[in-house]
Structure 1
Amino acid sequence: MASPSSPWLVAPALLAPIVVHAAQYLSVEQAQRVLFPAADRYEPHSVTLTAAQRKAIEQASDTRVYNSRPKVWQAMQGDTVLGHFFVDQVYGKHEFITYALAITSEGTVAGVEILEYRETHGYQVRQPRWRAQFLGKDADDAVKLGRDIQNISGATLSCRHLTDGVRRLLATHRAVLASQP
């Protein structure tokens, strides 16, 4: 009989594959076309947040700003700015979730798309019905899980962190981009 510390019992556990469910659903370019279908081009918009802007965004969103250089593009149709397109990442439970957020020139959410999901659970945040809860929200709305954004059982951390990310980007848009052409 093998003892509990026998290498014959431990070895299979060490050799067992770690299952990671990673899926890329959309590229940045595909998400741009989905979220701003009327746009004829997307111009990269260089943003570097100052310490004061970071602090203002954190206070307005009640969420920490980790990245001082958000990835953002202006969605253009001819000479008209349709809005801003962000690509951001938040943690699910253990891994990053990469998502895109479209904010209209009026400052409201035009859509949210999941670009890449790496978690083993919580992928239900890709459901159109869940993501549709953000449509029309702006920086004045609470955008809080359990308040105006419903949770999905089994995907609580993904729901919470994506909701926090959207709220943070709405605050970023208002603090930095809303007054710019």
Structure 2
Amino acid sequence: MPAVVVFALLMVLQFVAMSPVQAASAGQYLTVDEFLSLGFGEDAKPEPKVLWLTPALKARIKTIRGKEFPLLRVRYWQLGQKTAWILEEIGKEMPITIGVVVDLDSADGKSLAVSRVDILAFRESRGWEVRHDFFTEQFKGAVLVRDDILSQHIDGITGATLSVRAVKQVARIALLLA
């Protein structure tokens, strides 16, 4: 059998073997309503609001992202001091839809801190591990410190570097917007 044919068959077998894994990793994990129920409680029904982004705010977001933020306004939900933000950030090639709930820091009761991070939709073939609690729980209690950096270290995941970076950026942006 010619080497080209063998190579082609191996490529087809590799694709077939990977397809179920890729199909299982990408997908819709939470709807907006489910995320809001987790963040605010099942009985709470906060109304959506809109935050118009000023040039100064867009500049700070650009510093976090390393590129322009494409939106002029951002929709969010608020109930008392607690806000919920649903933002998208590119992992490697596709957007990841990430929800972040920001509330008063339980430690000091004054500053705003992350109280919840959830992956609503993941569209990449790699890096889907960021949706699991072992990763998202690391963000609880994080606040912004100098230069819009998170106050605590977030451990990465081998093979999910770009997805981890995307979630960290969205958490920073949500804290900034809150």
Q: Bin the TM-score by the shorter chain.
A: 0.7 to 0.9
Specify every segment of 5 or more residues in structure 2 that has no aligned partner in the other structure, as ranges: 105-110
Q: Does 1:110 align with 2:115?
A: yes
State whether structure 2 residue 161 is matched by structure 1 residue 126.
no
- The 5 A counterparts of 1:46-85 are 46-59=50-63, 61=64, 63-64=66-67, 65-74=69-78, 76=79, 81-85=80-84
User: In structure 2, what residue type is equivalent to 1:53?
Assistant: L
Higher helix share: 2
Deviation at 1:95, TM superposition (A): 0.7
User: Which residue matches 1:93?
Assistant: 92
Alignment-derived partner of residue 143 in structure 2: 138
CA contact (8 A) 2:37 2:44 kept: no
TM-score relative to the length of structure 2: 0.75
Asked if the contact 1:47/1:72 (under 8 Å) is kept, the reply is yes
Contact 2:98 2:170 in 1 (8 A): no
Deviation at 1:162, TM superposition (A): 1.2
Percent of aligned pairs with the same amino acid: 28
Distance 1:114 1:86, change over 3 A: same
- Hey, what does 1:156 align to over in structure 2? 161
Pairwise CA distance, 1:143? 2.4
Supply the distance in 2 between the matched residues of 1:148 and 1:71 (Cα, whole angstroms). Answer: 28
Kindly tell me the number of residue pairs found equivalent between the two proteins: 159
Q: Is the 8 A contact 1:57 1:172 kept in 2?
A: no
